[in-house]
Amino acid sequence: MYLEMLKRKKKGRFAFEEFMTDEAKELFKVVEAKKKKEVS
């Protein structure tokens, strides 16, 4: 899993490394959609 993440990373850019599971990805989508709804 970690190696996959490394492959995706652009060479020479180390500013921010983030790893999340698929479950976490889904959760953040829901949270951000909620936020957008509140703003609009």
Partner 1 sequence: MSLNYMIPASKFKRYLPKDYVELVDYGPFGKKYSEVGVKNMGTYKELVEEHPMCSGCWMSYYIKIIFASLPNPEDTVTIGTAGCGRLAISQAAVPFIYGNYGDQNAMASGITRAFRLRFPDRQKDVITIAGDGGMMDIGFSMTMHAWFRREKFTTIMLDNEVYGNTGGQESGMSVEGAVLKMSPKGKNFGKMPAMQLAITAGCVYVVKMSPTNINKASKAIRRAIFAARNLGPTFIHVYTSCNIEYSIPTPDVFRDAKEKEKRSFCI
Where do contacts with partner 1 occur on this chain (CB under 8 A)? 1-2, 6, 14-21, 23-24, 27-28, 31, 38
User: In this structure, are residues 17 and 9 in contact, taking their beta carbons and an 8 Å threshold?
Assistant: yes
Spatial distance between the Cα atoms of 23 and 38, rounded to a whole number of angstroms: 23
Q: Closest separation between CB of residue 11 and partner 1, Å?
A: 11
Spatial distance between the Cα atoms of 26 and 35, rounded to a whole number of angstroms: 14
Q: Closest separation between CB of residue 8 and partner 1, Å?
A: 13
Q: Closest separation between CB of residue 15 and partner 1, Å?
A: 5
